[in-house]
Amino acid sequence: MSIVIAVVTESVLPNATTFIVIGFAAFLLPLLARRIGLPAVVLEILFGLLIGPQVLGLIAAESTSEGFVLVLAELGLFLLMFLAGFEINFTSLEREGRGPIVAGIVAYVIVVALAWVGFGFLDLATFNARVFLTLLVSAASVGIIVPALRATNRSGSRQGQITMVLGILAEFIAATGIIVFAVWVKNGWGIEMLAVPLFAVILLVSLWLMRRLAWWYPEKAERLFASNDPDELGIRFSFALLFVFIGLSLALGMDPILGAFMAGAIFAFVFRDSGDLEERLSGFAYGFLIPIFFISVGVRFPL
């Protein structure tokens, strides 16, 4: 039995250097970030770049792109996107009206138009390449926006909420456009094109079902947010919802990042007052998994 465990450990777990370096970095970098006034995410990426194969070579890119560290890093990314949706204050946005959303859509259309015109001056091989690059540059890096807003204590402010929603809107439109375009290039107007509307239907049905269940069983819904629950049902339900939507996204050929975000957004929309559940999830995510993700991004970043 011990031989089997040793073989599995050797094949799955990274070497000791990776564990030690990433572990200490995840603890020390936020302290340094506060001193120099930078978001921790920036230092984590730069640190990963420094210790990676492109600079010092302390950690090989393979150690963060496979096995145990890869699982932790990807889970950190999924939790980051889940919390991005979870942190949306829909009550505040409803008071704001449609103005910020309309302004965001207009701004996104302008960015797409400028990118399309700009790529028109380049000697691109095909029309498809121009479309793909236009969609690619129009995406917003929500993975950077959300931690930056959180680090500057602006994620709950009016400007922070609007910025986060507009960034997510741009990311969602661009990612969906890329997926639809890729399916069209590969298969044409086939049955695979139904994946996006089917995913939208699943989201609407899930939203309706969760609201009904919360209405029919309010006592059980309240237990999800009990801070003294020894079983931590709120945490368990959050992860269950996250994994279900990631699985649905993968099954439909969609980006699992979108599934993770939509899971958090549906949770926030149905349960407007989540108590301290968000803080408990954030503590686990930002204190452990998300730093591993950003350090891994730096390690694998190609110069």
d(CA 289, CA 39): 16
Distance CA 228, CA 204 (A): 32
CA dihedral sign, ordered 301, 143, 31, 160: positive
Cα 88 to its chain centre, rounded Å, is: 14
Q: State the Cα–Cα distance between residues 173 and 163, nearest whole angstrom.
A: 15
The total of other beta-carbon atoms located within 10 Å of residue 32's CB is 13
CATH architecture, domain 2-300: Up-down Bundle (1.20)
Place of tokens 């239907």: 201
218 vs 203: CA distance, rounded Å: 22
DSSP 8-class letter at 123: -
Angle at which helix 290-300 crosses helix 67-86, to 10 degrees, equals 120
pTM comes to 0.78
Q: What is the pLDDT along the chain (303 residues), one digit of tens a residue?
A: 444 334 434 444 456 777 788 888 888 998 898 888 878 888 888 998 888 888 887 777 676 666 777 888 899 989 988 988 887 777 777 777 677 677 777 877 887 888 888 777 776 656 777 777 777 766 666 666 777 777 777 766 777 777 777 777 777 777 777 777 776 766 666 666 677 788 888 888 988 998 888 888 877 777 777 777 777 888 898 999 999 999 988 888 777 888 888 898 888 888 877 777 888 888 888 888 888 888 888 888 776
